[in-house]
Amino acid sequence: MNLFLETSVMLVVSSLLLVWLKSIRTAIKILSLQSFFLGITGFLLAWETGEVDMYIMAILTIVVKAIVIPSILDSTMRKMYIKRETDKFIGREISLLSAAGLVVFSYVITKPLGVIMSDSGHPYLPNAISMLLIGLFVMITHKKAIMQGIGLIVIENGLFLFALSASGGMPFMVDIGIFLDVFVSVILISLLSYRMDQTFKSISTDWLRKLKG
């Protein structure tokens, strides 16, 4: 059980690193590392329950989320002209502090939820919620399109962990479907950021101000 807790703590730490980092390409590497730890968590759960479905999901997580998706994002970054640094509405220090605050917050709010969930509630429930909130936080505070996309993937990772902790994973078909959706949405994120780069010579969402009212 301690091993579970350690991997899920790594997941939260990697989410916090995403808030702190300056270079987008390092952020993509961290995302890959995070997905790798997520796969490991899946493996540990599969080991505990002995379900074949969960082994397949863990392998898929490592192959698709830790290898394929980061390399798609990275190759998009290499095609673009932009400066490879993140750009935020608030400073790094304040955003790291707020993200840490979100972690504390999620530990507080999941206490009653853990009681309802009784036996199935694994100790990484608060970590899943904090990944979700940090993902949303990244989406809101970052200006560069590709970083907002990374925020969306962090949310998806958080949801996967949440499903693991709340009910031992969703039914197999549903998990596969979710995976496919995440994969196609990453392709769309890369495509749209690339087109933005071509059109505005920038992927800062500051340019997306025309549609109002």
Partner 1 sequence: MLPLWTLIIPTVTALLCFFLKKIRVIEWVHLVGSSITSILAIWLVCEVAVGGTVSSNTNQFFYVDALGSIVIAIVAIIGWTAALNSIGYIRNEYHEGVIDQKQLRQYYFWYHLFIASMLMVCVVNNMGLLWVGIEATTIVSAFLVALYRKGEALEAAWKYLMICGAGIAIALLGVILLYSSVVNTLGTSPEVLNWSFLKDPSIKLQPSMVSLSFVFLIVGLGTKIGFAPLHFWLPDAHSQAPSPISAVLSGVLLNCALLVLIRFAVIAEHTISGDVIRHLFIGFGLLSIAVAFPFIMVQQDLKRMLAFSTIEHMGIIAVAIGIGGVLGFTAALLQMFNHSMAKSLLFLTSGNMIQKYKSKQMTRITGGIKTMPITGFMLLVSSLAITGVPPLNLFTSEFSIISVGFSEGHPIVVSFMIAWLALIFGAMLFHISKMVFGTSRDKLAVGDLSRWSTLPLLLPFVFVVVFGVYIPPVISDLIHQAAIIMGG
Supply 24's token pair: 């987008």
49, 168 in Cβ contact below 8 A?
yes
> Which alpha helices (H) appear in 21-68, and where do they start and end?
24-49, 52-60
207 lines the binding site for partner 1 (CB under 8 A): yes
Q: Which is nearer to partner 1, 96 or 176 (CB)?
A: 176
Supply 150's token pair: 């990374």
Q: What are phi and psi of 170, to 5 degrees?
A: -75, 170
In angstroms, rounded to a whole number, what is the distance separating the alpha carbons of residues 7 and 9? 5
31 lines the binding site for partner 1 (CB under 8 A): no
Mutual angle of helices 69-79 and 24-49, in 10-degree steps: 170
23 lines the binding site for partner 1 (CB under 8 A): no
Among the listed ranges 34-42, 62-70, 91-99, 117-125, the one in contact with partner 1 (CB under 8 A) is: 117-125
Shortest distance (Å) from residue 102 CB to partner 1: 15
77 lines the binding site for partner 1 (CB under 8 A): no
Q: Which is nearer to partner 1, 56 or 117 (CB)?
A: 117
- State the CB neighbour count (10 A cutoff) for residue 159: 17
Q: Which is nearer to partner 1, 101 or 171 (CB)?
A: 171
56 lines the binding site for partner 1 (CB under 8 A): no
Number of residues that bind partner 1 (CB under 8 A): 45
In angstroms, rounded to a whole number, what is the distance separating the alpha carbons of residues 107 and 102? 9
Residues near partner 1 (CB under 8 A) are: 113, 116-118, 120, 132, 136, 139, 145, 148, 152, 155-156, 159, 162-163, 166-168, 170-171, 173-174, 177-178, 180-181, 184-185, 188-189, 191-192, 195-196, 198-200, 205, 207-211, 213
